[in-house]
Each structure stands twice: as structure tokens, then as C-alpha cells.
Amino acid sequence: MREDFRLAIRGHPAYSRGEPVLLTFELANVGDTEYRLLIWNTPLEGEVLNFLEVRHAGHVVPYDGRFFSRGDPGPASYRTIRAGETIAEQLDIAESYALDEPGAYEVTLLVRFADVIPVTGPEALTARPRQEHQGLVLGPVTTRFELLPDGPARPTAGERARTEGPKDGARLLTIGPGAGRPAAEERDIPVPPEFAEVDAADANARAWLDAAIAELASWTAGADNTLYTEWFGEHDAARYKTVLDRFAGTRVWMNTRIHYDLSPSDCRANSNAYTHLGSDTVHICPNFFRLPVTGTDARFGTIVHEWSHASPIVGTADIAYGLPASRDLAVRNPDAAAKNADNYSSFVETLSLRMLTAPVFLPNGQVYFFAGGQYYRMDPGTRRVDPDFPRPIAPHWPGLWSGRIDAGVMWNNGKAYFFRDGQYMRYDIDSGKVDPGYPLSISAHWRGLWGDRIDAAVLWDNGKAYFFRDDQYMQYDVASEKVDPGYPKPIAGNWPGLWGNGVQGAVMWNDGKAYLLRGWQYVGYDVAAQRAAPAYPRAIGENWPGLWSDGGIDVALMYSRNDAVYFMRGTRYRAYDIAQNRVVHPDFPLTIEGNWPGLWGDGIDAAVPWPGGKVYFFRGSEFMRWDVAENRVDAGFPLPIADHWPGLWGDGLDAAVLWPNGKAYFLRGSEYMRYDVAAGRVDPGYPLPIDPFWPGLWGDGVDAGVVWDNGNAYFFKGSQYMRYDITADRVEDGYPLPIGSNWPGLPGRTG
């Protein structure tokens, strides 16, 4: 494809300072295929964005134009170039580069088309989402010119934005020192809905930026932080500090007096917002209001993205857009990922979905956890998340905030109290909804308590409630409805064994312990002994199955000579890329139904690849045969196991693996059978017990198993896995290990 294009840049040999420095950019299609080109951040967009390197006197002239946050492109973001056609754009580069000093300049053009679509027929695609983009890099090409000293310097777009501010008549939302928030709590002051929505996104961005800084600075050791690795690549101490400093610098800039312009007239197609380096204003585009409030590609992520551009001590760039491209950038070029704005917003958004807050133990015997705009329901007896969770907060918690919730606590009056920023809500358990008249302000109704933010809260059985924020806590007397004298106090020294700061959630359990959460860990606090119980902290994802994920694995399957492993649980599946060592797609888990034609969509017990391009799936007393080439179940299935697999158990298989010795092994409970593939039957003498014939493997059963092409088999049970050396015929030393910290994207910890 690259050979089909020719790129050129040309201009005059000299320009006077202060006049437009017009350069012509040409793109020729010299091939015989028509293409549609995504024009983002290229000369074809008709604006000088950050696609040039301008040098003068041996120094790089910084880019000083606009930075955009973008959603998925539509047809208007593409341009068609026919076979044999040449497209030219003439642009004034002085709009985005400060050309003040006379002398020789060198301009290099490097074009990165984020997506190129060959037009092969009348039904050709006109646009496609970011996860399907196929990019192309062209260049570099260079031109030179002389800048003559015979005119006044001309300000760039960035300079005008920093000095002139928003245009007259702009609808501005101002936040920061002396400005407050747009709505006074508990006063009937009308606020335009879009102002409230932007303000809420700003508040979410601040809260989760603080959590991101804590995650990198204190919650997780640098070398062990798999969330960092996902978005910024392999661990490097210097780069880790750079990323932390850039998060902190973004947050510092948001602490100044900042503005949101809700009336820009010059937004690009599919852009969410834009700003300039050093600007105190983010311009909100109409597409912003079509974004979700929480989750990925969310409004608050856009806020983080833009202020990371604007902060003069951060100054991120737009190298890649979207979760797939940003995640890939972290693998290919970690230094570039550490400079890319979408990697920062993606980190914060991912953390928001994994950081559990506001746990409450309700009288119905269930425990509820909140994360981002979702919630989980856990059975305290099994300590497993119920099926089909997480679910969105709205509409399942009528009247409650549908996005971020900071803290929650169950009271003895049949009410649960939830806190966010300076407000709280009272939720009536019997009626299943928020009481009328809420939210209310904390400061006006909780005497002595912090009035602007609560991180966690828990009710003891001594008539006291404990509230946490940063490195302090308060003791609240329920009967007198006020904070006891002498508070706040430091957590350190008063809660033996607990972290000294950053508690993000707390809940009283029915086992005499309070469980306190921070990042990816939790502590069980013995109320009677008044200290953390032994062996804490522990990882949430490894001990509370289902949190941050759908928990556990039913099926692990790798086709012969395939580069992906498929993990299934319940109605959903994930594809795990062996080379990248991670789940390959941000939209996973996906539903089995609709993606595996003909296969049961509501649960599978076991699967095993078979010679001849087939895969066998088992559920209950039946099995199906899957054709790999046709990508569907063969006609006539399902069939009963008992009639077609001589000697095998007729139902209830747990796992199956195809060994390289022509045998398949089927496991059920504490036993296994060896099946001869050529003879088509179970070998004599089976079943046998797993222990002692599979040295080191769990003897009471496994959930799933898969044979890798590296001479190992992997077995999974709950939140753990083992690696089995096929040649040595035993589990390798050091196992079991947690799935979550070793299989990125599968159930497990954040850090």
C-alpha cells in the first residue's frame, strides 16, 4: 500500500516575518486502487496540526496549535483519493509554529494516516471504528526557506488562545480558586443542564486523577504495576516517574482557575474537545455530550486528555487515538505512550472501573460494591460475585448517582448513606430508592465531618461510625449525630496493620471483621482485637472472585497453530494473544452467542481441539463439533456424549486437553481419563485419580486446561493457574500463581 503514494512539500524560497508562510502539501496516488484516508492530524484536514518538525538554528520550533480529543470517525473524517489523483493543500504553518527569528528554516513532513481503506467495490466502507483501523506512515519529506527580518512577529493560534481568551459571547463554565462550582448546593439556582454535565465530568476527572496518582505513587510498587504496564509499557524507573509527574502536573493545572467554553464554533468532525498548550480553557464540542459519563471513552477521560495537553509542565501529544491503538503503542514504543494523551485518559478510565468504592452490606445478606458507573453483588458466604454482574447503577438504584460514588455506609435505621464530593444521599432499603429531597450537603447535616469529600465509611457495633479521607479518620457518634471531640486523627498509629493513607472503601462483614479497600488490595480488620488480621493486605482480584471481571474460567481453548487462546465463562469469552501476552481487544468479554455460530450461548463445560480442523465442545451430557475453517458448528449437533465417546463419562466434564502423544485427557472432579484419538475410545484401566498421576496438580479438580505450543499445559482453578511441564510430566516449581497478575485482561488484580 505504501508504494501507491507519493508525498511532497514545497513553498517559496523566502518569506517576510509576519506574513503567511504558505506551504503546499501534495499527496499523489500512483497505484491502481482507490483509497479512503482518515484525515485526522494530516494536511488533508485543512489545518496545521502536529504533523511537522520545524527546525531553526539547530533547534526544534515547538508546535503551538490545537490539540483534539476525538471519538470514532465518521464518513466526514475521511477523504477519497482515486487512482492517479493528486490532492494538494496549501496551509500557513505560521498559524501553529512561532516563526519569529530570521534565518534559515527546515520543515519536515511526516504523515501518519490512522486509517486507510481500499475501495474495492460499490459497497466499500466509508468509515470504521478505531479498533479496526489500519494505519499507514508516509514520509519524511523536507523543504527549506529563509525568513526575512522585514516585518513584525505574528502570534500563533496558541499565543492568541493564551492571551486573548475565549471569544466574546462564549458560554463559559469557570472552576477553580475563587470560582467555586456552578451550582450552590441545596439552593434553587437554575443551572443549564450542559453546564452541570461538564461540571460533573470535571469532578470525576479530578477524583480519578487523584486515584491514578495514588496508584502510581503509593498503592502499587512500580515494577509490579500491571495497570501501568498495560498503558505505558515495560517497567522503567525513569519513565515510571515521568508518567507519575505528568499525571501530577495535569492535576496541578486543574487546580488553577480554569474555564470550559461550551460554545466553540470551530470543532472538527467527531471531535470531543480541544485546547492549546498553556491555555486555561478547554473548548467543549457537541460530540462530548454523546459520550458516556463513566467507563471507557468517557466524558471525564476527555477532560483528562485535554488538560494533559494544556498543562505547560506536561504537554502531551496526540500520537494515537483510542484504546486499541494506545494499548498497542505501549507495547511498541513505551516512550511515545508516555507522551500520548489518550494513554493517560485510558489509564484513568481503566482504573475507575477496577477501583472498588462504597461497599455496603445490606440487610438482605448481600454485599454491594461500586466501581465507576457499575456495581457488583457478592454472596458473602461463597465470596463470589453473582452471575451477570457488574451492572450499571442506573436504573437498578433509583435516585442514586449513576456515575461515581465515593463512599457508602449501612446505618442501623434501614438506610444506606452514599457520599460524593460535598454531597450525600440517603437510600431507603425497604422501598429500594433514594429518599425524596436528596442530595444534601454533608457540611450542613453531618456535624464536624469533612464537608467536601469522604473516601470511605464504616459503622462499628459500638455506636460509632468511622470516616476516612487521605491519611486521616474521624469517629462519628451515631446517637449524638456529630463527630467526637479530638478528631480528625491520623490513620497511622491508630489502626494497627492498616495502610496509613488512601483507604477507598470500607464495609462491616458478618464475620466480625471490617474489610477496608485501597486500589487492588484489601485488609481484614479484626474489630475485637482492634488490629488488622494476619496475612493482610491481600489482592482483591485473587480472593474475591468476579470483582473487576466475570471471575474464573470454564473453558481454555487454543486451535492448532493459532496465535490466540480463547477463555470462556458463562455466556461470554475472551481472546488472549499469546505474542502480546494480553487480552487482545478492549471490548472483551464478548458474548458467545452471535460470535460462535451454532454453539451454546449460555455456558460450556469443556472444549478440546482435535486433529482434522475440529474442536469438540461439551456441556452436560451433550457435545458439539466445531469446524475451524468454516467457523461454525457442524450440522446435526448437539449429540449425546455417551453414544459417541466410548468409555468416557456421559456428563459433567470439567476440562479436556489434547496431549502431543496422540492422547486426549478428560478431567472430572478428582479423576481423569485417557482417550486414544486414533482408536476413538478411552484406554483400559480408567478413570484414575488426578493425585498422584499428575504430580503437583490440584487433586480435587480443575476448571479448565489448555496445551500451549511451548511444551507446557496450563490448568486453571478459581483465580489461580498452574503450568505443567509435559516432558517432565509434573507441575513446575512455584505454582500455583494468581491469574490476574500474570494474564493481563483476565480476572485479577489492578496493580
Query: Could you read off the pLDDT of 491-509 as tens digits, one per residue?
Result: 999 999 999 999 988 888 8
Q: How confident is the model at residue 20 (pLDDT cuts 50, 70, 90)?
A: very high
Nearest alpha-carbon partner for 349 in 289, 308, 311, 300: 300
Q: Are 713 and 706 a contacting pair, CB within 8 Å? A: yes
Q: How confident is the model at residue 189 (pLDDT cuts 50, 70, 90)?
A: low
Q: Are 43 and 95 a contacting pair, CB within 8 Å? A: no
Say what angle helices 341-354 and 237-254 make with each other, to 10 degrees.
90
- Beta-carbon neighbour count of residue 30 at 10 Å? 12
Q: How far apart are CA 132 and CA 324, in angstroms?
A: 9
More confident residue, 157 or 573: 157
**Is 721 strand, coil or helix?**
strand
Calculate what percentage of the chain has a pLDDT beyond 70: 92
pLDDT of residue 689: 93
Q: Is the pLDDT of residue 621 over 60?
A: yes
Q: How far apart are CA 357 and CA 518, in angstroms?
A: 9
Q: How far apart are CA 20 and CA 93, in angstroms?
A: 8
Q: How far apart are CA 273 and CA 70, in angstroms?
A: 7
Q: Is the peptide bond before 586 cis (omega within 30 degrees of 0)?
A: no
The mean pLDDT of the chain is 88
Average pLDDT rounded to a whole number, residues 128-146: 91
pLDDT of residue 345: 97
Helix (H) or strand (E) holding 193: helix 193-214
Nearest alpha-carbon partner for 273 in 40, 68, 45: 68
pLDDT of residue 751: 36
Helix (H) or strand (E) holding 325: helix 323-332
Calculate what percentage of the chain has a pLDDT beyond 90: 61
pLDDT of residue 750: 34
Cell matching residue 710: 511451548
pLDDT of residue 748: 39
Q: Are 658 and 667 a contacting pair, CB within 8 Å? A: no
Average pLDDT rounded to a whole number, residues 151-170: 89
Q: Is the pLDDT of residue 286 over 50?
A: yes
C-alpha gyration radius of the chain: 29
Amino acid making up residue 137: V
pLDDT tens digits, 352-385: 988 889 999 998 888 999 999 999 988 888 777 8
More confident residue, 190 or 306: 306
Nearest alpha-carbon partner for 304 in 161, 145, 314, 75: 314
Average pLDDT rounded to a whole number, residues 150-172: 89
pLDDT tens digits, 100-136: 999 999 999 999 999 999 998 777 788 988 888 888 9
- Beta-carbon neighbour count of residue 195 at 10 Å? 18
pLDDT of residue 252: 96
Enumerate the β-bridge partners of residue 640: 622
- Cell numbers 505450543 label which residue? 709
HSE toward the beta carbon, residue 106, CA cutoff 13 A: 10
pLDDT of residue 662: 87
pLDDT of residue 540: 77
- Beta-carbon neighbour count of residue 435 at 10 Å? 13
* Cα four-point dihedral sign 291, 293, 295, 298: positive
Q: How far apart are CA 553 and CA 97, in angstroms?
A: 54
Highest average pLDDT, of 127-131, 564-568, 573-577, 622-626, comes from 622-626
Average pLDDT rounded to a whole number, residues 176-204: 76
Q: How confident is the model at residue 188 (pLDDT cuts 50, 70, 90)?
A: low
pLDDT of residue 740: 59
- Beta-carbon neighbour count of residue 431 at 10 Å? 11
Strand 258-261 versus strand 281-284 pairing type: parallel
Q: Give every CB contact of residue 674 below 8 A, 6+ residues apart in sequence.
A: 663, 664, 665, 682, 683, 686
Q: How far apart are CA 204 and CA 403, in angstroms?
A: 9
Among 36-40, 249-253, 399-403, 705-709, the range scoring the smallest mean pLDDT is: 705-709
pLDDT of residue 749: 37
Cell matching residue 636: 446435526
Q: Is the pLDDT of residue 746 over 70?
A: no
Instruction: Classify each residue of 95-111 as buried b or exposed e, where b means 16 or more C-beta atoms within 10 Å of its C-beta.
Output: bbbbbbeeeebebbbeb
Nearest alpha-carbon partner for 155 in 104, 97, 103: 97
- Cell numbers 487480552 label which residue? 583
**Is 62 strand, coil or helix?**
coil
* Cα four-point dihedral sign 609, 611, 614, 616: negative
Average pLDDT rounded to a whole number, residues 717-722: 76
Q: Is the pLDDT of residue 549 over 50?
A: no
Nearest alpha-carbon partner for 76 in 316, 255, 350, 271: 271
